[in-house]
Homo-oligomer: A and B are copies of this chain.
Amino acid sequence: MGDVRCGNLFGMADTESSLVNRRIVLTERPNGLVGDYCLKTVEGPIPEAGEGEAIVRMAYLSVDPTNRVWMREEDSYMPAVPIGDVVRAAGLGVVVDTRCELYAIGDLVLGLLGWQDYAVIDAGEHAANVIPPGLPATDVLSIFGSTGLTAWFGVHDVAKLEAGETFVISGAAGGVGSVAGQLARIAGARVIGIAGTDEKCRWVVEDLGFDACINYKTENVEERVSALCPDGVDVYFDNVGGEILDAVLANLAIGARVAVCGAISHYTAESLPPVFNTFELVNKRARMEGFLLLDYLDRFIEAIGALLPLVLDGSLVYAVEVVEGLENAPATLNRLFTGEHTGKLLVKVSDAAD
């Protein structure tokens, strides 16, 4: 599948919108999928840089499950997005105006730039990272960005996967999952994916080299994990939470590690899904640990250095789907929760970084 590029090919919004700044703001707390009932597009002038500020022309938005978490009423590891604020999301853009010595015009920057055409950054709370030139923008937001780095630290730092172990991963065909499963394979583990369509299962097995993949929509996950992992699951990389987490907890090996990366089944749910098998952590002397990429900022270079040769020699492949047009950000985010995606999803806001 490699580098998939499709989406709204007719979206001419970029050109049309370049004279105004569109901002997609949250008007109320969403219930389930997002849509017009909770979002509003506000048009205004392109912002000007105040003293100590710079203006970024958005190029690509990263579409991540956590965007939806931040819209909830409750604070998570970050405060909830206030009603009336632009939707929070990571993105990549180019500095087009600056009155801040950290940023020069033309710099490629990565930060929580939000669902808008232009973002204001500064040296403080709204700082962004200047990206060294040379890497394709879509790679910075995927394999060398949150997706690849989350996969790397989850597999190696949190789960401490060892060769010969059995590794199970949910959300197997997603941005993080598809990379994490391959990293596990490269580390010498037996890799079992869990995904939501036969096509996704086929992709991770045939193209990405997983040993097997369970379609959770048509198969009994607990029974299939048990059958595929007769000696138990040494590492479970959890992207979904809920029932699938329970099914894997019922099949842990002694000394198992559950690296909790996400809980996509929770984010759009009205109430949190229950988990029943936590006592298996005692029966199996197992560990369940949550992690956030944010905590690894000072080790990004280490992970990028490890990923780069794997990408260059072709042992690690990754899929990026680029959807054109800021206006498609809400629908693209929803696809994370309806399972209608493979690999990493990006929204292209402009060609400023191409």
Contact = CB atoms under 8 A, between A and B. Distances in A.
A32 interface: no
A261 interface: yes
Contacts of A241: 278-279
A284 B274 contact: no
Interface of A: 76-77, 241, 245, 260-263, 266, 271-292, 295
Contact of A277 (B77, B272, B289): B272
A131 to B, nearest CB: 25
Contacts of A290: 279-287
Contacts of A260: 278-279, 281-282
A195 B287 CA distance: 26
A232 B113 CA distance: 30
Contacts of A282: 77, 260-263, 290-292
Among A262, A266, A273, A287, residue most surrounded by chain B Cβ atoms (within 10 Å): A287
23 contacts: A77-B282, A77-B283, A241-B278, A241-B279, A260-B278, A260-B279, A260-B282, A263-B282, A266-B279, A271-B276, A273-B276, A274-B274, A274-B275, A274-B276, A275-B275, A275-B278, A279-B290, A280-B290, A282-B292, A284-B290, A285-B289, A285-B295, A287-B288
